[in-house]
């Protein structure tokens, strides 16, 4: 991977996991009235650590081809309900909304960091 790509890789990965988590939480909220639906979630810390550890394959020789691994799949887990409901649905609106707003906030933060890095690169390229 290119140097610039490497420089931005961590935040781009974090952004991808956050965006995927947003979709999963939106699915939970969409299904808040469906009987027997089980809420699911992504453990961000675990996924980002898994990415840092397992990342793309390293090349140890200059004739090796860099291997683009298929993007890591995030593992979804089921949420433990605090107050289980009679219809078997484990979506709790307060929990989901809190998780969603936290995730949105963290997404924006990651985006801000990424923007900072890009701005830094741009000023280095311009040499002003």
Sign of CA dihedral 30, 36, 98, 114: negative
Least distance to other proteins, CB of residue 49, Å: 19
- Token digits for 65? 């081809």
Helix or strand holding residue 42 (H, E): strand 40-42
Least distance to other proteins, CB of residue 25, Å: 8
Least distance to other proteins, CB of residue 54, Å: 17
- Closest CB to other proteins among residues 30, 66: 30
- Closest CB to other proteins among residues 59, 119: 119
How many C-beta atoms lie closer than 10 Å to residue 23's C-beta? 10
> Footprint of other proteins on this chain (CB under 8 A)?
15, 19-20, 22-24, 26-27, 29-37, 40, 42, 73-74, 76, 93, 97, 100, 104, 107-108, 111, 114-115, 118-119, 122
**How far is 72 from 14, CA to CA, in rounded Å?**
12
């Amino acid at each position: 991977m290119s140097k610039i790509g490497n420089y931005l890789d961590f935040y781009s990965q974090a952004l991808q996991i956050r965006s995927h988590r947003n979709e999963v939480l939106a699915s939970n909220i969409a299904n808040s009235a469906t009987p027997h639906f089980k809420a699911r979630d992504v453990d961000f810390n675990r996924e980002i650590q898994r990415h840092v550890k397992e990342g793309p394959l390293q090349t140890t020789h200059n004739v090796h081809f860099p291997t683009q691994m298929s993007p890591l799949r995030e593992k979804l887990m089921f949420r433990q309900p605090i107050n289980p409901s009679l219809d078997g649905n484990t979506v709790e609106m307060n929990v989901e909304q809190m998780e969603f707003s936290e995730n949105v906030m963290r997404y924006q933060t990651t985006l801000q960091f990424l923007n900072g890095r890009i701005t830094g690169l741009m000023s280095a390229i311009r040499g002003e």
